[in-house]
Amino acid sequence: MKKLLAFVLALALCLAAFTAVAETKVNFFTGKIETIDLLNEIIGEFNAANPGIVVEQEYQNDASSIIKVKFASGEVPDVMTTYEQEFVDQGKYLDLSDMSDWWNRLIPSMRASCTDLKTGNQYRVCTNMTMAGFFYNKEIYAALGLTPATTWDEFVANLTVIKTQMPDVTPWFIFGKEAWHLGHLIEFIPHGYLKQTLGTLECKTAMLNNDSAKLNFGAADGCMAVFAQNLLDLQANGLINEDVLTATSDNCVEAFVTGKAAMFSNGMWALSGILEANPDMADKIGFAPYPAYMPDSKPVVLCAEDSGYSISATSENVDAAKAFLTYLFSAENQKKYSETLGSPSAFTDVDANWAPAAFAAEVKSVLNSAVNIGFTNEKPAGFSGDDAGRMVQDLLAGTYDAQSFAKAYEKAWNEGF
């Protein structure tokens, strides 16, 4: 009996060990709030179709900061949407250059956007293209006889007309409680100026090498100080919302779809939320570039890779992670993803109705007329977009004037390396 009992216990332990080995958990880390529900749906379908693999999604609002903690603690997710150049340099991402089944389907310019400048390798793959600029209410603009601005003076004049003629409408709504949003303003406006004046490759190189003579972040008359002063002037003149430091993206959508905000800055990922909140907005949404605000500059618009995915170089579940991404990247799932997100697909075999036809045409027109810029992937890992956004929060809270903000930004950028 003792021998039989020992055998049964040993068999049970073996079965338990086999079950533990057979079930592979893939941790998926994201900061993209707009896709949580859809990805949970896709993850559920993948888990059901792949016994033995369990993908679990973790969302964090401050993802670009929290990923640093995860890397430092060794609790690194298998798959992540956060991406920083310094982490590439430190070898924290798996080289995905050999994933020809993915790359052969991708638009060539999007593969180029996913290519590391230093090594020529790909450590992430994007699934979508995105554009960012100003969403504006076409009915309000038409009622006031306004056209989208191409210079900063025109931009301020438009906001002033809106405030004067429609005092109950916020000219430009900024949801400043969310640091990433304010960080994006730096991405698109002062960084956008550098990208257009230096050129894409030279700007990337200057940022990678931290060439302060070219970036000139701390200059009293530089792009950062002028950006800060412009923002402070808009705040002082009541041309942005008074609750800028407590307003959320939900507040912004609500104000926009009810006609209480004339415009806001964001990317295509915001489109689905607007239309979900008020489908009648489909024909009322306009799209405009960020106006030129420095001498001899031009309007800019973001046109870049979106929804990028990387695998940890230290993951013990690489095969399972690749299997999950292959499933996520299927044409069927990407059509659903593109239409839910409101962003065109980066895959050539995905035909998605990602936006109302009139809006999509206006976006195309802006892309053809303004300087196209990409995201700032070359910023130091020790100074994230969220970190930059928190500095803008401090600016709007009165901590800095324009020149001290520029100096502080330059210092934080340098220390981030």
My answer on whether 270 and 321 are in the same domain is: no
pLDDT 10s digits, 169-185: 999 999 999 999 999 99
State the residue for tokens 């429609």.
166
pLDDT computed for residue 379 by the predictor:
82
Amino acid identity of residue 8, one-letter, is: V
My answer on whether 256 and 296 are in the same domain is: yes
What band does 272 get if pLDDT is binned at 50, 70 and 90? confident
Residue 17 or 77, more confident: 77
My answer on whether 276 and 340 are in the same domain is: no
Do the beta carbons of residue 344 and residue 129 sit within 8 Å? Answer: yes
**Residue 203: inside a domain, yes or no?**
yes
Strands 371-373 and 300-311 turn out to be parallel
Amino acid identity of residue 10, one-letter, is: A
**Residue 10: inside a domain, yes or no?**
no
Burial string for 120-157 (b: 16+ CB within 10 Å, else e) reads eebbbbbbbbbbbbbbbbbebbeeeebebbbebeebbe
pLDDT at 389 exceeding the cut of 70: yes
Last residue of a domain, one of 319, 335, 357: 357
Of 62-66, 171-175, 217-221, 405-409, the range with the lowest mean pLDDT is 62-66
pLDDT computed for residue 263 by the predictor:
98
Q: Tell me the average pLDDT across 390-417.
A: 97
First to last CA, the chain: 67
My answer on whether 116 and 202 are in the same domain is: no
**Residue 7: inside a domain, yes or no?**
no
- Residue 412 structural domain: 131-304+359-416
Q: Tell me the average pLDDT across 218-228.
A: 97
pLDDT computed for residue 118 by the predictor:
86
**Residue 227: inside a domain, yes or no?**
yes
What is d(CA 151, CA 148) in angstroms, rounded to the nearest whole number? 9
pLDDT 10s digits, 5-28: 555 555 555 555 545 456 899 999
pLDDT computed for residue 352 by the predictor:
92
My answer on whether 253 and 340 are in the same domain is: no
pLDDT computed for residue 381 by the predictor:
76
**Residue 101: inside a domain, yes or no?**
yes
Do the beta carbons of residue 341 and residue 268 sit within 8 Å? Answer: yes
Last residue of a domain, one of 342, 357, 372: 357
pLDDT at 194 exceeding the cut of 90: yes
pLDDT computed for residue 324 by the predictor:
98
My answer on whether 135 and 122 are in the same domain is: no
Mean pLDDT of the chain: 93
CATH of the domain at 267: 3.40.190.10
My answer on whether 320 and 174 are in the same domain is: no
Count of domains for the chain: 2
Do the beta carbons of residue 304 and residue 371 sit within 8 Å? Answer: no
What is d(CA 86, CA 108) in angstroms, rounded to the nearest whole number? 25
My answer on whether 48 and 115 are in the same domain is: yes
What is d(CA 83, CA 64) in angstroms, rounded to the nearest whole number? 8
Alpha-carbon torsion, ordered 128, 134, 135, 137, to 10 deg:
-160
Residue 61 or 292, more confident: 292
My answer on whether 82 and 140 are in the same domain is: no
CA 235 to chain CA centroid, nearest Å: 25
The set of residues, in sequence order, having a beta carbon less than 8 Å from that of 90 and lying 6+ positions away, is none
What is d(CA 96, CA 391) in angstroms, rounded to the nearest whole number? 34
Beta bridge pairs of residue 60: none
My answer on whether 260 and 345 are in the same domain is: no
pLDDT 10s digits, 357-369: 999 999 999 999 9
- 190-198 and 200-208 are packed helices; what angle lies between their axes, rounded to 10 degrees? 120
pLDDT at 132 exceeding the cut of 60: yes
What band does 33 get if pLDDT is binned at 50, 70 and 90? confident
**Residue 1: inside a domain, yes or no?**
no
**Residue 71: inside a domain, yes or no?**
yes
**Residue 245: inside a domain, yes or no?**
yes
My answer on whether 141 and 182 are in the same domain is: yes
Q: Tell me the average pLDDT across 36-54.
A: 96
What is d(CA 303, CA 287) in angstroms, rounded to the nearest whole number? 13
Q: Tell me the average pLDDT across 70-74.
A: 93
The set of residues, in sequence order, having a beta carbon less than 8 Å from that of 243 and lying 6+ positions away, is 251
pLDDT computed for residue 10 by the predictor:
57
pLDDT at 1 exceeding the cut of 70: no
What band does 269 get if pLDDT is binned at 50, 70 and 90? confident
pLDDT computed for residue 84 by the predictor:
87
My answer on whether 140 and 264 are in the same domain is: yes
At 142 the three-state DSSP class reads helix
pLDDT at 75 exceeding the cut of 60: yes
pLDDT 10s digits, 302-356: 999 999 999 999 999 999 999 999 999 999 999 999 998 888 999 999 999 999 9
What band does 2 get if pLDDT is binned at 50, 70 and 90? low
